[in-house]
């Protein structure tokens, strides 16, 4: 991950913890999210990420996103520089 992607990943973690009330551990940026977050948290995390970074993630974008690293990379590609941390 680049520095920028790492900052985005940290921000996504913050969203999960502070805004979505996620309390469990996360195994790391390269582990599949599906094995760690249940579908409710996962679904609301996608919406929260879209909202925070002002992007729209279509279902086929999301299909190739398995890990926090993937998600951070997708956000880095799509989001306008001024909304990035």
Partner 1 sequence: MTLVGPPLPAPRWPTLVHAFERAARDESGVTFVGLDERETFLAWGEVFDRAARTGAALAARGVAPGDRVAIVLRTEPAFLDSFLGAWWCGAVPVPLYPPVRLGRMEEYLAATARMISVSGARMVISSGGTRRLLGGAVERARPPLGCEDATRLAAGRERAAPRLPAPEALALVQFSSGSTVDPKPVALTHGALQAMADALVHETHPDRSRDALVSWLPLYHDMGLIGCLLGAATYPGPLVLIAPEHFLARPALWPRAIARHRGSISAAPAFAYAYVAERVRAADLQGLSLGCWRLALNGAEPISGEAMRRFAWRLEPHGFDAGALVPVYGLSEAALAVTFSRPGRPPMGRHVDPVRLARDGEVAPGDREVVSVGRPVAGVELQLRDQRGAELGPGRLGRVWVRGPALMRGYLGDPGATDRALRGGWLDTGDLGFVLDGELYVHGRAKDVVIVRGANHAPEEFEAALTGLAGLRPGCAVAVGSTGHGGEEALVILAEQARGHAATDDEALAAEVRRVVLEATGIAPQAVHLLAPGTLPRTSSGKLRRGEALRRLQAGALAPPEKITALRLAALAARSQLAYARARRARPPREPER
Query: 57, 78, 79, 84: which one contacts partner 1 (CB under 8 A)?
Result: 57
Asked whether position 83 contacts partner 1 by CB under 8 A, the answer is no
Q: Is the CB of residue 8 less than 8 Å from the CB of residue 29?
A: no
User: What residues pair up with 67 in beta bridges, in sequence order?
Assistant: 32
- Shortest Å distance, C-beta 48 to partner 1: 5
The burial of 8, by beta-carbon neighbours within 10 Å (0-12 exposed, 13-18 middle, 19 or more buried), is given as: buried
Place of tokens 């306008």: 80
- Shortest Å distance, C-beta 4 to partner 1: 21
Residues forming the site for partner 1 (CB under 8 A): 20-21, 32-36, 38-40, 42-48, 50-51, 57-63, 65-66, 71
């Amino acid at each position: 991950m680049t520095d920028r992607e790492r900052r985005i990943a940290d921000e996504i973690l913050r969203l999960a913890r502070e805004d979505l009330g996620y309390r469990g551990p996360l195994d790391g940026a390269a582990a599949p999210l599906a094995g760690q977050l249940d579908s409710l948290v996962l679904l609301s995390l996608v919406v929260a990420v879209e909202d925070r970074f002002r992007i729209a993630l279509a279902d086929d974008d999301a299909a190739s996103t398995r890990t926090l690293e993937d998600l951070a990379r997708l956000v880095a590609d799509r989001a306008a520089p001024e909304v990035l941390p």
